Amino acid sequence: MLLHTSFSCESRLGRVRENEEQLRKDQKSAMEMEVKQAKKQNPKVIREMQKGGGSAQAAGRATEKVRKMKVAGAEMCSS
């Protein structure tokens, strides 16, 4: 009886780990989609950032927004 209980517990623990891994993958994917969406919404700012010219203030705002998204995504993944 003890052996069966131990196996059942290990089996559940394995499924929990698999679920956690899948959740992390899903959250990372969602974060990447948010970044892509932000780039689509304001492509001018992204182009200015890539050129290194244009409005430094606008590029700074976009950089900060992307950084915040990355931090939020990392916090979600680590939870």
Residue percentage of the chain with pLDDT more than 90: 0
Q: Averaged over 6-11, what is the pLDDT?
A: 67
More confident residue, 64 or 21: 21
Q: Averaged over 30-53, what is the pLDDT?
A: 70
The predicted pLDDT at position 48 comes to 60
Q: Averaged over 26-46, what is the pLDDT?
A: 76
Q: Averaged over 32-53, what is the pLDDT?
A: 69
Is a pLDDT exceeding 50 seen at residue 1?
Answer: no
Query: DSSP letter string over 8-50?
Result: HHHHHHHHHHHHHHHHHHHHHHHHHHHHHHHHHH-HHHHHHHH
